[in-house]
Amino acid sequence: MKPRWPIVVTYLILFAIAIPWYWQWFGSAAIQPVFGLPRWVLVSILGSVGISVLTAWLIYKHWPEEDVDP
């Protein structure tokens, strides 16, 4: 299998959004409620939704059928 780099990079970006490492620089804006949830929580959940959608799309469109048996 050859890695599909655009997909790998998209996963890395989505996980980087989902893991809330960057919110410490946003001060109190991070916990301001948006749709009843702290902003950082909502963004992290959206990142997770993105990962689920990408994964489902990959499975739907690029499910591998090649034989790996040498």
Partner 1 sequence: MMATLPFGPGALTFIGLYLLSLLYLGWRGRQAQQENTLKDFYLAGSGIGFTVLIFTLYATQYSGNTLFGFTGNAHKNGFGWLVSVHFMTAIIVFYLLFAPWLHQLAKKHSFITPADYLTHRFASTPLTALASVIMIIAAANYLLAQLIAMGTAVEVLLVFDVGQGAIPSDPATQHTAHMAFIIGVVLLTIIMLAYETLGGFRAVAWTDAIQGIILMIGFVILLGLVINRLGSPGDAIAILAESKDRLIQPPDTKGAWTWLSWILVVGIGGALYPQAIQRIYAANSSNTLRKSLMVMAFMPLFTTLFALLVGVIGAAQNYDLAKDTYILPAIMREIMADSMIGYCLVVLLAAAIMAALMSTADSVLLIISAMITKDLYARFINPDASESDLTRLGKWVSLVVVVLMAGLAVGLYHFRDNNILITLMKLKFEMLLQLAPGFILGLHWKNLPSRAVFAGMIVGLLVAVGLYFGRLAEFNSYKLTGIHEGVWGLLANLVVIGLLANNFFSHSSNSKQSAGPQ
Report the interface residues with partner 1, using CB under 8 A.
Answer: 1, 11, 15, 18-21, 23-24, 30-31, 33, 36-38, 40-41, 44-45, 47-49, 51-52, 55-56, 58-60, 63-65, 67-70
| Pick 6 or 67: Cβ nearer partner 1 | 67
20 burial via Cβ count (<10 Å: 0-12, 13-18, 19+)? middle
The contacts of residue 45 (CB under 8 Å, 6+ apart) are 37
Least distance (Å) between residue 21 CB and partner 1:
3
